[in-house]
Chain A
């Protein structure tokens, strides 16, 4: 119970700090929503009138408190640019980014765990060696570049998908998922490669420990030792990595969204920053921060499930 209260307090403090930092950052960087909106046709009178209308003349701290009070009550404000409620703008984008993350996460798990185990079991064999080489290459290629390669090979040459032909999940769910498949691969590849390497090393390290020898001496076959005893222990560093990777994918999907022209949270965030559209930026950042914290929390719980010796007080 105490643990939960502690976690919850940590969550609130983090969100407060993050959201205030965003406000503070906007106060420091040049550019102003009113001049950004009015462009080169602006007159000083119009800019002033607009600043007044948007409530930009109040000091940063007052604006922040006002925003935070509304936010807590579930009012995310209105986008300066689009004149639409921020909630309305974001609620369609969150599922896009989450789907992308979930798909690539599934791929990582599906590829990395079986492959890592097989490699460890046949360490030194031809499969293991070729996987190590391929792994090195994939890890060295950043997601945006594999994204471009995938577009070229599967999109333009093999015609498995039409590059840029994104469809909203509300219009056509299967086509949406189909379009998300290749971007998910691009995100998953380098992370899966890392996970394979990590699991393989971890399993091999565990295999040298005393409990493994004991398990063998009791007459267990390699398979049983591996799955029943080693895997659980070897998973701890992999779970840590997967948790970090997941958080990283949510916050980092911006780049892949750009490469594949997917209008997710990343795109909204980027354009809103350059438009100085604070309410939208705030909401997206807080949303991402919230998800990342929740994932960390879940990872903690999984630790406990895997290894009951780990407790949180």
Chain B
């Protein structure tokens, strides 16, 4: 008797499981008529949603869609007026005056006022917690409301390059919990987030400008890089930001692979204080031995742009292509320099590389092989990114590392300031009086041509001193379903989803 009952229960269980599973398989994906796109991201927006407190690059590039500043970058990297209708910079570089755009609405429906602007800028400059939320804002003397549509920002010292910092988000003063309830003026507004799962935004209908085309944007976290291609080919996501070259070759014909650049300087950064890298001859020898073209050939089929100093091509007039030829690969010269420096038989060192960046790990592996040619033995030590940040970047306890450094804003100072002697993030311990002087002159000069010249001088000094072994600006690939168009690469760490559109919608 008992066994019959057990059998019945078992049968019932099997039936239920199958019904649920099969029923679910037939489920339909489309939820409503609104246009939507699902975008895969490798890392969650794991940060505060408060635009002034969020610091992770991965968060900032997403928040670009929710928040705007008085000015914002366009896809060429130029700053255009956003919440300001126009702006003027005084000749002495001390006073920035903004005329505010009228009737700009926040996502909660309220209208942006001069008070909100002052509140937001003051908040970034607030030093009550010990340091301003945005480091550069310590240069602000005061923010004054001249009338209800004019705000001026007065600096403590002349600085003609302060405008990029005016991209800082303007938020409503009335919002008490911006970290949970993000309210901005951007083309998209926040809907919901589920940690490690997704981040949902919808089109903001009252946007002051042209606005977005797609109604609903869902960012889906695909943490395991092995599932990116299956998720794309299976149709679970329509787009993935930053796939590798190998992945781009595996995606199906439904996708277009767009190619851009990562806008960073990938280099083997050397601790200029650690032996033997404190000797310029040793550093130069490494530069002669490492062949960037060979690295690109092996890792990305030759794709990538060589760089010869801490500046990448998106910086336009500041980028110096001529520095690429400074150290034409020459193994004999490298051996000679090593012998001069007292290392005729080479030496060995540890190359600390963050393990979560395959592009840097792959690069390091090729470097190791190339250095063997001149008798230098590099041992790769893989560390987590968080360990890298504290050991290498903060404590400067390393010999050499391979990473990419980008610019937080499109000013040459953002790339070059870190190599001045006193910079707190001068993690390569580079010291050069000439460099510091040239940098200071570049900062203070008011004439644009002169400024450019001094910045170039800085780049040249870095290259001649062989402060680092410069390699390339990495190529970047984006997979996008052919149903969509309009993706734009920015020279900054920014993703603009408002420019995306459905192809058939556009042809109608």
Contacts and interface: CB of A to CB of B under 8 A. Distances in A.
Pairing of A with B: yes
Interface of A: 29-32, 35-49, 52-53, 79, 81-84, 89, 92-93, 103, 106-107, 110, 114, 148, 151-152, 155-156, 160-166, 168, 172, 174-179, 181, 227, 258-261, 263, 267-268, 270-271, 274-276
Given A40-B393, A49-B131, A31 B387 contact: yes
20 contacts: A31-B384, A31-B389, A36-B385, A36-B386, A36-B390, A37-B47, A37-B55, A39-B55, A40-B425, A45-B131, A93-B195, A110-B14, A156-B233, A163-B231, A166-B236, A168-B197, A175-B27, A177-B24, A261-B227, A263-B196
A113 to B, nearest CB: 8
B235 A162 contact: yes
Given A84-B195, A179-B24, 6 more contacts: A93-B195, A164-B227, A165-B235, A177-B21, A181-B21, A263-B194
A29 B388 CA distance: 12
Interface in B63-86: none
B82 to A, nearest CB: 22
Nearest to A277: B46
B25 interface: yes
Given A39-B55, A84-B195, A261 B224 contact: yes
Tier of interface size on chain B: 35 or more
A258 B48 CA distance: 24
Interface of B: 2-3, 10, 13-14, 17, 20-25, 27, 29, 40, 44, 46-50, 55-57, 129-131, 133, 135, 179-180, 194-197, 220-224, 226-227, 230-231, 233-237, 356, 383-387, 389-391, 393-394, 405, 408, 424-425
Given A83-B179, A110-B14, A274-B386, A156 B223 contact: no
Given A81-B46, A181-B24, A259-B227, A162 B386 contact: no
A30 B46 contact: no
A52 B130 contact: yes
Contacts of A42: 55, 389, 394, 425
A211 B195 CA distance: 57
A164 B234 contact: yes
A259 B226 CA distance: 8
Contact of B194 (A29, A32, A151, A168): A168
A32 B390 contact: yes
A97 B389 CA distance: 32
B95 to A, nearest CB: 26
Contacts of A89: 195
Of listed A30, A227, A274, residue having the most chain B CB within 10 A? A30
Nearest to A276: B386
Contact of B230 (A53, A155, A179): A155
Contacts of B194: 92, 168, 263
Given A155-B230, A177-B21, A163 B236 contact: yes
Given A46-B131, A268-B196, A29 B55 contact: no
A86 to B, nearest CB: 10
A183 B135 CA distance: 47
Contacts of A178: 20-25, 27
Nearest to A111: B14
Nearest to B48: A83
Contacts of B356: 274
B394 A47 contact: yes
B271 to A, nearest CB: 16
A260 B227 contact: yes
Contacts of B393: 35, 40
Nearest to B178: A83
A31 to B, nearest CB: 4
A55 to B, nearest CB: 14
Contacts of B222: 164, 261
Contact of A114 (B10, B196, B383): B10
Contacts of A177: 20-21, 24
